[in-house]
Amino acid sequence: MKIFDYRAANSVAEAIAAAGPGSAFLAAGTEVVPALRDGLLHPDRLIDLLPLGLDGIERRDDGLRLGGLARLSDIASHPEVLASAPALASAIEQSGTAAIRSMGTLAGNLLQQVRCPYYRGAAPCNRRAPGSGCSVARGDQRHAALMPLSFHCAAVHPSDPAVALASLDATIVVEGRAGRRTLSLDQLYPAAGAVLGVPSVLESGDLIIALDLPAGRLPGRYAKIRDRSSFDFALVSAAGGLRLEGGVVVEAALALGGIAWKPWRCRRAEAMLVGRPWSADLVRQAVAAELSGATPLEGTRFKVELAIRAAATVLDPGGPS
């Protein structure tokens, strides 16, 4: 492991000023420490953010604000989250182990690197060494993407909370050298064909201060399909919900996980649902249309049907609340 400097920041301004080329932010360490151990991160300086606080959870007139450093377990058990965003609480409860949830922060979870075993191991990987090849193409494809970032990489984003937050229209409050700005969750992640190995569009010194959940959004549900029911990443996941009037869909929200390099908001499917009488067949048709542009590998074709079934679970108005 490379020798590095350590600094505990006492203010947001101090953290931003201390950041620069070769630096990395540290919170609970559930992502950074394994990355250091596995040789994926080689910082000259680690800047500890925990002294900043930034872990509040509060109701505002325009919705719910979650601190960027709020612990996952605190979010999942908070009465306001359970009441207005149960999909998020459920997604957190199905992510990681209890120990990880009690330590990990929301911002850290959103910014984690992919969990592809070839990226984390010693096999050829374009994310670690561009041009070296993607081992997924000739290896285990079960957890690979339906919609790859590019033909150079088939890894998926591993976050469960990110999928729920995408369905809830969450916005991200970022503080950096250029001041404060807000991003949608979709804007946080690189566009298709972007530089591999970059988990987000944030620049050096950018710090996630908070996430805002706007009021009045569908609370939704979360469904996760995985090989093991304990501590496993999603093969496919879905978050979302419907609002019906007289049996007709008047509002729909749907996001899928485990299929792309980012949580996939299903805008095409939502548009197909709104204004039409709800039926299970309609949901299947809408999600199938959403995935019509997928480019699955031989080992991921089964995920199309899994995604349709996961979406049908969360978009069933008669399903469990």
Per the CB < 8 A criterion, the answer to whether 310 and 316 are in contact is no
Mean pLDDT calculated for residue range 9-18: 95
* Closest to 81 (Cα-Cα) out of 184, 219, 221, 222: 219
Query: Best-predicted range by mean pLDDT among 14-23, 192-201, 300-309?
Result: 300-309
Cα 267 to its chain centre, rounded Å, is 17
- Give pLDDT tens digits for 211-229: 999 998 898 999 999 998 7
Domains, the chain, ordered by start: 1-52 (3.30.43.10), 221-314 (3.30.390.50)
Q: What is the pLDDT of residue 50?
A: 92
What's the pLDDT band for 274 if we cut at 50, 70, 90? very high
Burial class (CB in 10 A: 0-12, 13-18, 19+), 178: exposed
pLDDT tier for residue 242 given thresholds of 50, 70 and 90: very high
Query: What tens digit of pLDDT does each residue of 166-192 get?
Result: 999 999 999 999 999 999 999 999 876
In this predicted structure, what is the pLDDT of residue 3?
Answer: 86
Which pLDDT belongs to residue 150? Answer: 64
Q: What is the mean pLDDT of residues 245-257?
A: 97
Average model confidence (pLDDT) for the chain? 92
pLDDT in tens, 59-78: 999 999 999 999 999 999 99
CB atoms closer than 10 angstroms to residue 317: 11
CA 290 to each of CA 87, 146, 187, 260: distance values in angstroms, whole numbers, following the listed order: 21, 12, 19, 13
pLDDT at 194 over 60: no
Closest C-alpha among 86, 45, 46, 53 to residue 71: 53
In the chain, what percentage of residues exceed pLDDT 70? Answer: 96
Residues 6+ apart with CB under 8 A from 81: 57, 64, 66, 75, 88, 89
Q: Which helix (H) or strand (E) holds 222?
A: strand 221-225
Residue 280: Cβ within 10 Å count:
10
Q: What does the pLDDT look like over 114-168, one tens digit per residue?
A: 899 999 888 898 888 888 888 998 899 999 999 866 668 889 999 999 999 999 9
pTM: 0.94
